[in-house]
Amino acid sequence: MIRHFAAAAALALCAPFASATVLSFDDIVGANDYLAIPASYGGLDWSGSAWSVLTTEQSPYTAHSGSGRVTMGWGSDDAASTIRFNAPTVFDGAWFAGYGEATVRFDLYFEGSLVASSTTLSLSDTPSFLDAGWDGAVDTVVVSSPLHAFYVMDDFSYVASPVPEPGALALMLAGFGVVAGVARRRA
C-alpha cells in the first residue's frame, strides 16, 4: 500500500514539470492583420523578433487550428525569427504552411551555443508539423528559412519548466523521505 502511495505521490509531484504549452496565436486580435506579437507573449521573449499575427484566411497561409498564425515581414532574416524562453525548456515544434518554394528548420540554442537543428521542412498550403528533433533543454529557438515571408507558423509547442527549480526538488526529496520513514516505522 505504501509503495502504491509513493508511486502516486511521485507522479503527482512530477506532473507540473511536464505540462505542454501550445501557443495558437488565436488570442492576439487587432483591427487588421500584421499586428506585432507582444514582447512577452505566452511568457516567452519575442522582443528580438519580427513576427506578426495573421488572422484572415489567405492561401497558402493556412492555419493549423483557429485563425491566428504568425508570419515574418518581407526581407526578414534568421535573426529576426528568434524566440527566447525565460528558463531552460524542451521545445517540441510547430506547424507551418506556405508557398512550395519555401523551406523552414529550427536552430536550437542553449546558453549561446547551437545544440541542434531540426530537419528541413518543405511547405505547402496544408499545415505540416516540424518536430524540433531535440529532447534536451534549450533557451532560444531560431526559425531558419531562405524565404521568411513565404510561410506562417501556428501552434508553437513546448514543455514549460522541464528542469525543476532547486526548491521544488528539495521539497520532493523531503516528501520521499517522509514516505520512506513512515514505511520503515510500519515495517
User: Residue 16 above 90 pLDDT?
Assistant: no
* CATH no., domain 20-159: 2.60.120.260
So what's the pLDDT on residue 32? 62
Q: Calculate the average pLDDT of the chain.
A: 84
C-alpha to C-alpha distances, 81 to 77, 93, 152, 176, nearest whole angstrom = 7, 14, 12, 43
CATH 2.60.120.260 domain extents, the chain: 20-159
73 within 8 A of 93, measured Cβ to Cβ: no
Are the C-beta atoms of 154 and 128 separated by less than 8 Å?
Answer: no
Average pLDDT over residues 64-68: 91
Instruction: Choose between 80 and 180: higher pLDDT.
Output: 80
First to last CA, the chain: 12
pLDDT tens, position by position, 20-51 = 899 999 988 765 677 889 999 999 999 989 99
Q: What is the pLDDT of residue 161?
A: 58
| Res 140 pLDDT > 80 | yes
Q: Taking residues 121-138, what's their average pLDDT? A: 96
